[in-house]
Chains A and B, each alone.
Chain A
Amino acid sequence: MATSIAKVCQSVKNLTRRSDLLYQQACCLCASFSSSSHLSHPKKLQHVINYQRTRAEVARALRRKQNFLHYEQVDKHRKSPLQSGTELVQEEKEDVAPREYRYVMPEFLPNPDFQYRDRVLEKMERRDMLRRRAVIDIPEFYVGSIMAVTVSDPYSPGKTNRFVGICIDRGGQGLQAYFVLRNVVDGLGVEVLYQLYNPTVQGIQVLKLEKRLDDQLYYLRNAPLEHSTFSFDMQPVTLPRDAPVPVNTTKVKLNPKPWEYRWERFNLKGIEPIELTPKMERGIKEHAKPWEDYDLMLKYRQTVNEDEERSIMTEVFKENSHIESQRKSSRTVLRKKK
């Protein structure tokens, strides 16, 4: 590479007047190339830790085996006491966010549609979201979880308004991220849309963490009311630590028609099979899009690029851990003051 550039430079030198300058630049380039290669070479020889592995895997890999001599011991004679203090110390940090971050905080991912992308705006929104997350605790939740939200309400006596319900939808990107709660109060179905980062939201609490079989539970509107009835003084159910999020596999039996939407066309998993009339079957056939399963371009357009996702989530993870550490230190300070 360097030689070819030098050759090109040579020819350029012969041809142009401003060749001297160009030649200097090219030489700089060559120098940088060679120096970088020199620098990168010893790094490769070093013991490189793959940060993609989990901590347990790393520990297992680094554990001392019976027929194993540590490289420090082997290379002991190579080290001179004169060199002490000169070696490069690499900070070992797990910076990559865990894979499930995508599902825990999906609102940090940008809109996959490129025409709505604005990287500067996204970055600023992310910063604002993290700032908000430092103030209130936004827990992990999914569609199907039972949640309680406290909102400031200037007209109510306690200045707050608390609503409990099942999360039937979640969406939106950035500061506009939202979720919808549904409950039956005095025999009337009530749904409220809350924005996650709305400053009037004072607290979000997950009373029961679980998932459902579908991404949206709007069909509960056309289901018997008992499926969406939850007590306002429900006690939070705690899951054992590090346990996977349970999936509620209850199948809901829909009320007879009329329905809000033609639910038979949505391929829902959380409802009992519907008795299809010939008209319904015809409708399903007409509106089915079987080719979408094979449309790679569509899938590409509907998902965020994996590299981009990793970079964003790493940033979020770093900031989050920073916030956590700050919180811990502030807690200890508070304890000491008490």
Chain B
Amino acid sequence: MIAKVHHEAVSPARHFSGFKKMSLALIALPRPVAQSTKRVAATCCCFSTTQAFCEIRNLARMRIVDNSAIGKAAAEIGKPPRVINVYNKKNVGYLGDKVLVTVKGEMRRAYIVGLRQKQKPNVPRMDTNNIVLVDDNGNPLGNRIHVPVPSCLKGKGGDLTKILSLATKFV
């Protein structure tokens, strides 16, 4: 079932690859991609014809914030990972939720460690949607997180504790 979702997720991107020369104004949001807009435009179809997502649903573009090799490689290409499944009943990802993402054509599991959308009081709202990649056993792929992590995740337990041990800074 996951594979099917994956296929559906990627297909619209292929469909739009013909519009490479379209103006960059169509990029929906200043996602992390915006830092390297030129390169993105040259290498892949990174604009979206849909409205900006206010929440993490399928096909939401994320930013990998750990120093895993695959995350770095994806950033090198300029193709952001996309969410293809959220592991909860509502299919909407919130802080600390587990998601399935496509990175360089591979399926990887990840945890959400920062969101752009409005948060509750005392919970930080980040400028980008951040994820940290983990393998199937829940062990993080990288060994360092180079952005601040919300300290409200500390109480959640589970596999998140392994991730939070990599964090250098909490807000």
Task: Compute how far the CA of A121 lies from the CA of B147 in the bound complex, rounded to whole angstroms.
Answer: 43
> A230 within 8 Å of B by Cβ?
no
> B42 within 8 Å of A by Cβ?
no
Stretch at the interface among A15-23, A127-135, A182-190, A245-253: A182-190
> B151 within 8 Å of A by Cβ?
yes
A185 in contact with B122 (CB, 8 Å):
no
Per-position binary interface string of chain A over residues 131-157, scored 1 when its CB falls under 8 Å from any chain B CB and 0 otherwise: 000000000000000000001011110
> B30 within 8 Å of A by Cβ?
yes
B122 in contact with A151 (CB, 8 Å):
yes
> A195 within 8 Å of B by Cβ?
yes
Residue in B25, B28, B29, B124 whose CB lies within 8 Å of A190: B124
Q: Lowest 5 A-B CB distances belong to which pairs? A: A189-B127, A155-B154, A185-B148, A188-B147, A191-B125
B171 in contact with A163 (CB, 8 Å):
yes
Q: Mark A residues whose CB is within 8 Å of B.
A: 151, 153-156, 161, 163, 178, 185-195, 198, 200, 221-222, 255, 257-260
Per-position binary interface string of chain B over residues 9-25, scored 1 when its CB falls under 8 Å from any chain A CB and 0 otherwise: 00000000000000001
Consensus secondary structure, chain B interface:
loop
Task: Compute how far the CA of A221 lies from the CA of B34 in the bound complex, rounded to whole angstroms.
Answer: 13
A155 in contact with B155 (CB, 8 Å):
yes
11 residue pairs A–B, Cβ–Cβ below 8 Å: A154-B155, A156-B151, A185-B148, A185-B171, A186-B146, A186-B169, A188-B128, A189-B127, A190-B126, A192-B171, A259-B30
Number of chain B residues close to chain A: CB under 8 A: 29
Which chain B residues in 109-124 approach chain A with CB under 8 Å?
Answer: 114, 118-124
Q: Mark B residues whose CB is within 8 Å of A.
A: 25, 27-30, 34, 114, 118-128, 130, 146-148, 151, 154-155, 168-171
Known: A190-B127, A221-B127. A200 touches B147 (CB 8 A): no
A258 in contact with B25 (CB, 8 Å):
yes
| A200 to chain B: closest residue by CB | B122
Kindly list chain A residues whose C-beta atoms are within 8 Å of the C-beta of B124: 163, 190-192
Kindly list chain A residues whose C-beta atoms are within 8 Å of the C-beta of B169: 185-186
Task: Compute how far the CA of A257 lies from the CA of B114 in the bound complex, rounded to whole angstroms.
Answer: 23
For residue B48, give the distance in angstroms from its CB to the closest CB of chain A: 11
Known: A163-B171, A193-B121, A198-B121. A188 touches B126 (CB 8 A): yes
B121 in contact with A258 (CB, 8 Å):
no
Kindly list chain A residues whose C-beta atoms are within 8 Å of the C-beta of B27: 258
For residue B171, give the distance in angstroms from its CB to the closest CB of chain A: 5
Kindly list chain B residues whose C-beta atoms are within 8 Å of the C-beta of A190: 124-127, 148, 171
A188 in contact with B155 (CB, 8 Å):
no
A195 in contact with B151 (CB, 8 Å):
no
A194 in contact with B148 (CB, 8 Å):
no
For residue A282, give the distance in angstroms from its CB to the closest CB of chain B: 15
A258 in contact with B146 (CB, 8 Å):
no
Task: Compute how far the CA of A187 lies from the CA of B25 in the bound complex, rounded to whole angstroms.
Answer: 24
Residue in B122, B126, B130 whose CB lies within 8 Å of A193: B122
A192 in contact with B125 (CB, 8 Å):
yes
Task: Compute how far the CA of A200 lies from the CA of B151 in the bound complex, rounded to whole angstroms.
Answer: 14
| A180 to chain B: closest residue by CB | B125
Among B29, B114, B124, B154, the one with the most A-chain Cβ atoms within 10 Å of its Cβ is B124
| A225 to chain B: closest residue by CB | B127
Known: A155-B151, A186-B148, A200-B122. A258 touches B34 (CB 8 A): yes
B147 in contact with A187 (CB, 8 Å):
yes
Kindly list chain A residues whose C-beta atoms are within 8 Å of the C-beta of B146: 186
Residue in A186, A194, A221, A222 whose CB lies within 8 Å of B122: A194
Task: Compute how far the CA of A200 lies from the CA of B125 in the bound complex, rounded to whole angstroms.
Answer: 18
Task: Compute how far the CA of A186 lies from the CA of B170 in the bound complex, rounded to whole angstroms.
Answer: 11
A258 in contact with B126 (CB, 8 Å):
no
Q: A151-B122, A163-B171 are in contact. List 12 more A-B contacts (CB 8 A).
A: A163-B124, A178-B121, A185-B147, A186-B169, A188-B126, A188-B147, A191-B125, A192-B125, A193-B119, A193-B122, A195-B121, A260-B30
Task: Compute how far the CA of A163 lies from the CA of B127 in the bound complex, rounded to whole angstroms.
Answer: 16
Task: Compute how far the CA of A33 lies from the CA of B29 in the bound complex, rounded to whole angstroms.
Answer: 72
A188 in contact with B121 (CB, 8 Å):
no
A156 in contact with B122 (CB, 8 Å):
no
Task: Compute how far the CA of A258 lies from the CA of B26 in the bound complex, rounded to whole angstroms.
Answer: 8
For residue B163, give the distance in angstroms from its CB to the closest CB of chain A: 14
